Amino acid sequence: MSVVSLKISINRHKHVLLAKNKLKSKEDLSDRIRPVVMSSSSHSSGGGRGGDAAGVLGPCGACKFLRRKCVAGCIFAPFFDPEQGPSVFASVHKVFGASNFSKLLRHIPPHRRADAVVTVCFEAQARLRDPVYGCVSHIFSYQKQVEHLQAELSFLEAELAALRALIPPPPKFPSAPALQSRRQFGRSAKDSVDDGSSASSSATDAGVLQELTLRAMQGRSIN
């Protein structure tokens, strides 16, 4: 393995570990936010925890943090449970404010409010972790990661093209008509050679016979 390939492998390993760590932190943050969103049955009912329900279940997580009575029709009740809701709602209240968050939810259709709650909670906790960039830091990180991977891909494609240029092309095999013509030419050449050899052998035999005949005639004339 060359030094360049080793560096590429090390950089790729670093990028993968960085992406896994960031994805894990984002998933951990989402896992902490998701449980506060309650079931769709409570969400579809749209009711709060006031009246008899308030005496049984107690206030929602948002009202528990705000230390107020959770009335019927509380807009936060379907999304923040009494156990984990207060800690998550605290970040939303600190960054956006409970009143602004309530106004935002009221302008969103009921079937889209759960996604809005998860998004706002994630942005609030990301802002508390990084007061300067907030969730934008995740976007910058992923953009840089994409740029590094694209540059690495371009380098590998260029290296692959250079390696392909060094490989000689495979030999070209003759087509079927060319093979047939070569075979016919070989057969005709062989036949001509065989005819020539047979003709030469016949001529040799005739010459030997003629010489023997002349010798026999000379012997008779001497006698």
Answer yes or no: do 101 and 204 share one domain: no
CB count, 10 Å around CB of 70?
24
Answer yes or no: do 29 and 105 share one domain: yes
CA distance 120 to 135: 11
* Domain limits for position 83: 3-155
Give the chain's domain count.
2
Tell me whether residue 71 is in a domain. Answer: yes
3-state secondary structure 9-20: HHHHHHHHHHHH
> At CB < 8 A and 24+ separation, what contacts does 170-173 make?
none
Average pLDDT for 112-128: 91
CA distance 62 to 74: 9
Tell me whether residue 161 is in a domain. Answer: no
Q: Is 134 left (phi over 0), alpha (psi -120 to 50) or beta?
A: left
Answer yes or no: do 129 and 62 share one domain: yes
Average pLDDT for 13-33: 55
Tell me whether residue 66 is in a domain. Answer: yes
Over residues 37-74, the pLDDT tens digits come to 544 334 434 445 544 444 446 889 999 999 999 988 89
- Is pTM, for the whole model, over 0.75? no
Phi, psi for residue 168 in degrees, rounded to 5:
-70, 150
Answer yes or no: do 38 and 125 share one domain: yes
pLDDT for the residue numbered 55: 45
CA distance 37 to 117: 8
User: What's the pLDDT band for 3 if we cut at 50, 70, 90?
Assistant: very low
* Burial degree of 141 (CB within 10 A; 0-12, 13-18, 19+): middle
pLDDT at residue 141 is higher than 70? yes
Answer yes or no: do 110 and 189 share one domain: no
Answer yes or no: do 34 and 114 share one domain: yes
Answer yes or no: do 33 and 109 share one domain: yes
Answer yes or no: do 196 and 87 share one domain: no
% of the chain residues with pLDDT over 70: 51
Tell me whether residue 117 is in a domain. Answer: yes
